[in-house]
Amino acid sequence: MELHKAGKDLFLVFIIFRAYTSVEMHILENMALGKHAFQSSTHHGSVADRAVDGTLSQDASDNSCFHTESETNAYWEVDLGEMVFINHVTIYTRSDLWGPYSERRLRDIELYIGPSRNEYTRYGFYEGVLPKGIIHTFNLTNTVFGQWVRITRSESVVEFFELCEVEVYGYPSAYRYILNKRRAGVHVLNIALSQSLSILHCALICYNTNVCYGATFHEDTRMCEYLTSVTGVEADDTSMLIPLG
């Protein structure tokens, strides 16, 4: 079950995971936005960071796409800055390609995720030519824990490589675990309970509450457990009050 919220600077998705008799909910955000990116080579100043600048134009004339030289093993990768849980990766292809060979640049696309730049595992593959001007999402079978994300092609492809944006949707590890409540200077999660009519109701309450970062719905008791985050402040075991109206 998903709830979507659109905004100018942030795209949030509530993903609800079933685990035994409870439902765990997290907020997804683009973890790659503004992070440091790299590529195998650079063609005419089209640097790797263009794919994580938040500009969703698929026209290269807007300086929104990265571009490598024509080469084998061309790649693009981003350092997310920390280990995070990754749910899916979305790529934006260039729409203004021309010529009979241009679209072949995006053939047999591979998605790799790893804890470091030297330790990747392949989690996604698009076989064949990825058409120009489309938005393609690699939906992961299971949430992947990693810090580095690489987009590349099969070794047999020798061509230019370019994409206009890469979005890595996930959530920080601090939002998944309840950390030490007595330790100052870290993300601290306080728990608040309230009765809810359904899983959807539980999600909607959290969605409409600015300080709510996640929730767990317990089907047996119909109770909703909310998580709030406090940064740099020592927890005092107080609870957050959320109206059910």
pLDDT of residue 22: 38
Give me the mean pLDDT over the 128-144 stretch.
91
Q: What is the pLDDT of residue 224?
A: 67
CB 201 within 8 A of CB 14: no
Q: Mean pLDDT, to the nearest integer, of 168-194? A: 48
Report how far residue 57's alpha carbon sits from residue 166's, in angstroms, rounded to the nearest whole number. 12
Instruction: Determine the average pLDDT of the residues in 157-185.
Output: 68
- Confidence check: pLDDT of 2 > 60: no
Cα 103 from Cα 159, distance rounded (Å): 10
pLDDT of 221 > 90? The answer is no
Condensed to tens digits (0 to 9), the pLDDT of residues 65-101 reads 999 999 999 999 999 999 888 989 999 999 998 776 6
Confidence of residue 15 (pLDDT cuts 50, 70, 90): very low
User: Which helix (DSSP H) or strand (DSSP E) does residue 206 occupy?
Assistant: helix 199-207
- Per-residue pLDDT for 156 more than 70? yes
Residue 85 structure tokens: 């849980």
Q: Which residue has the higher pLDDT, 208 or 229?
A: 208
Amino acid identity for residue 194 in this structure = S
Q: What is the CATH number of domain 31-171?
A: 2.60.120.260
Q: Which stretch, 16-20, 39-43, 105-109, 141-145, has highest mean pLDDT? A: 39-43
This prediction has a pTM of 0.67
Domain ranges in the chain are: 2-27+177-231, 31-171
Instruction: Answer with the residue of higher pLDDT: 75 or 226.
Output: 75
Does the pLDDT of residue 222 top 80, yes or no? no
pLDDT at 187: 34
- Tokens representing 242 are 């959320």
**DSSP code of 43?**
S
Proportion of the chain above pLDDT 90, given as a percent? 46
Q: What is the predicted pLDDT for the residue at 182?
A: 34
* 82 CB-near residues (< 8 Å, 6+ apart): 147, 172, 173
What's the rounded Cα separation, in Å, for the pair 113 and 119? Answer: 8
pLDDT at 100: 65
